[in-house]
């Protein structure tokens, strides 16, 4: 695909993050795999003023290939996930309100609702805390995403991955809605969880969901 189109897609995804209320200010970052590397949003640039020329191209060694700006401070997170997950072509990292609030308690999102299966498992795991921008954070996230398409990051935010930025963004929206529902359910009282057998059925049904 045309590299300039991919750069424009990164900008559009960043704008969508802000528009959907998934990340405030300049928080959050997005990337798209390309050939032997990836395009990632730049560091500290408001999405409303970002242009395709601001997007940074990196290789899978962590070197900047093209771009006049510094890459997102979370470029190691994106790099680590692309290395660990050859099936992933797009990554969205954000700080949605409810998902981040749950992440600050270190909680997974368990099988309280069948839609949890949309992230690829019977729970949405919460990765242990590590400082932002570190390889340790990338490693923790990769482990939490094993067999999954989304996870929380303790005391930080959330990640959603996909075959393209549209699907990763849509999944982030779903994760935030599930986080909100779970937080409300916890405030009401005991939460009833679905059985492993029911979640296995849901996972099988989600293989053809939306296709």
In the predicted model, what is the mean pLDDT of residues 185-203?
96
| Letter string b/e over residues 115-131, b meaning 16 or more CB atoms within 10 A of that residue's CB | bbbbbbbbbbbbbbbbe
Average pLDDT over residues 137-165: 98
pLDDT in tens, 4-46: 899 999 999 999 998 998 987 778 999 999 988 999 999 988 8
Specify if 188 maps to a domain: yes
pLDDT in tens, 68-123: 899 999 999 999 999 999 999 999 999 999 999 999 999 999 999 999 999 999 99
Asked if the structure places residue 144 within a domain, the reply is yes
Kindly state whether residue 191 falls inside one of the protein's structural domains: yes
- pLDDT value of residue 23: 84
CB 189 within 8 A of CB 183: no
Q: Largest alpha-carbon pair distance within the chain? A: 52
Q: What's residue 69's pLDDT?
A: 92
Reported confidence tier of residue 211, pLDDT bands at 50, 70, 90: low
Domain CATH for 22: 3.40.225.10
> Averaged over 47-76, what is the pLDDT?
93
Q: Find the angle CA(172)-CA(178)-CA(179) to the nearest 5 degrees.
A: 90
Q: Residue 204: its pLDDT value, please?
A: 94
In a domain, 211, yes or no: no
Write down the pTM of the prediction.
Answer: 0.95
For residues 124-140, give the mean pLDDT: 98
Domain count, the chain: 1
Between residues 67 and 111, the one the model is more confident about: 111
State what percent of residues in the chain have pLDDT above 90: 85
Rg (CA), the chain: 17
Rounded distance, CA 18 to CA 20, Å?
A: 6
Q: Sorting pLDDT into bands at 50, 70 and 90, what band is 210?
A: low
Q: Which residues are catalytic?
A: 74
- List helix spans (H) across the chain: 3-19, 75-84, 97-103, 135-144, 165-188, 196-206
Domain span at residue 82 reads 3-206
């Amino acid at each position: 695909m045309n590299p300039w189109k991919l750069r424009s897609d990164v900008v559009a995804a960043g704008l969508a993050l802000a528009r959907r209320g998934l990340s405030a200010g300049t928080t959050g970052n997005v990337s798209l795999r390309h050939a032997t590397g990836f395009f990632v949003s730049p560091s500290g640039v408001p999405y409303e003023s970002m242009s395709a020329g601001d997007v940074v191209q990196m290789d899978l060694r962590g070197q900047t290939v093209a771009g006049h700006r510094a890459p997102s401070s979370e470029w190691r997170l994106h790099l680590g996930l692309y290395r660990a997950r050859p099936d992933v072509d797009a990554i969205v990292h954000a700080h949605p309100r409810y998902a981040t609030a749950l992440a600050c308690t270190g909680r997974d999102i368990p099988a309280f609702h069948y839609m949890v299966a949309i992230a690829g498992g019977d729970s949405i795991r919460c990765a242990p805390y590590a400082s932002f921008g570190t390889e340790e954070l990338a490693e923790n996230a990769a482990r939490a995403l094993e067999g999954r398409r989304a996870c929380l990051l303790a005391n930080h935010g959330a990640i959603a991955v996909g075959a393209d930025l549209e699907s990763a963004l849509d999944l982030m929206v779903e994760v935030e809605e599930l986080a909100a529902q779970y937080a409300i359910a916890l405030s009401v009282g005991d939460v009833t969880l679905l059985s492993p057998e029911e979640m296995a059925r849901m996972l099988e049904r989600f293989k053809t969901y939306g296709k």
